[in-house]
Amino acid sequence: MPETNERPTVTTSDTTTATDPRLLVLHALRLTGFAGADRVARATGLDGTTVTATLAAAAADGHASERTGRISGWMLTPAGRTEHATLLADELAHLDARAAVETADAEFLQLNEPFKALCARWQLRADGSVNDHSDPAYDDAVVADLAPVHEQVVAITGRLADTLPRFGRYPRTFTAARDRLVAGDGTAFAKPLSDSYHDAWMELHQDLLSTLGRERSAVDGH
């Protein structure tokens, strides 16, 4: 059988994602820093069996390590970070996607400061006092002002998904967080590690940087 350079694909529960499960799993660990198999499955759209097998293979290859105990989960090793960067670079070249990601990144950065300002308003009132969320009108105004930012980030990631399908999860992730917020779940705005809008925002920011092979700099903000 002739050799082929095509990378293996896998059909997942996320119909916009079909790519090398190694990349999806290592990428999820890069974006989260530390995650259990269940969170990796949610982030990748892969089924649990595939995630478990891929994590085990990554551990055997020295690309991921598992921590057990009261807080258990997986993280990339230094070798895993190198492998992850190589897989991302290969994907970018294979799909000729750099221009599309550069455009999305530039558009995202234009939204970053407005979103940070909304997060600041959610946490602090105009007089500098802590927002204790006892004033529904105040919170509703902040949520309303999130709407145009939400519309734009969904459009940016939706367009990018046409070139890089793995970005297709972001419109749904942002919309799910916003729907929770509109329904009255205040944790859905900025609470860390709660599938909040801010969690998704930070993951997208790192995703764009990692995909482009860049480290965060002053121009990227926080």
Tell me which H or E stretch contains 99: helix 98-123
Q: How confident is the model at residue 221 (pLDDT cuts 50, 70, 90)?
A: low
What is the predicted pLDDT for the residue at 137? Answer: 96
Read out DSSP for 12-69?
-SSTT-BS-HHHHHHHHHHHHSSB-HHHHHHHH---HHHHHHHHHHHHHTTSEEEE-S
What is the predicted pLDDT for the residue at 193? Answer: 85
What is the predicted pLDDT for the residue at 218? Answer: 55
Q: How confident is the model at residue 220 (pLDDT cuts 50, 70, 90)?
A: low
pLDDT in tens, 154-168: 999 999 999 999 999
pLDDT in tens, 104-126: 999 999 999 999 999 999 999 99
Place of tokens 């997060």: 119
User: How large a percentage of the chain has pLDDT more than 90?
Assistant: 84
pLDDT in tens, 124-140: 999 999 999 999 999 99
pLDDT in tens, 45-82: 899 999 999 999 999 999 999 999 888 999 999 999 99
3-class SS of residue 182: helix
Q: Are strands 64-67 and 73-76 parallel, antiparallel or unpaired?
A: antiparallel
Q: To the nearest whole number, what is the mean pLDDT of the chain?
A: 90
3-class SS of residue 76: strand
For residue 22, pLDDT over 60 is answered with yes
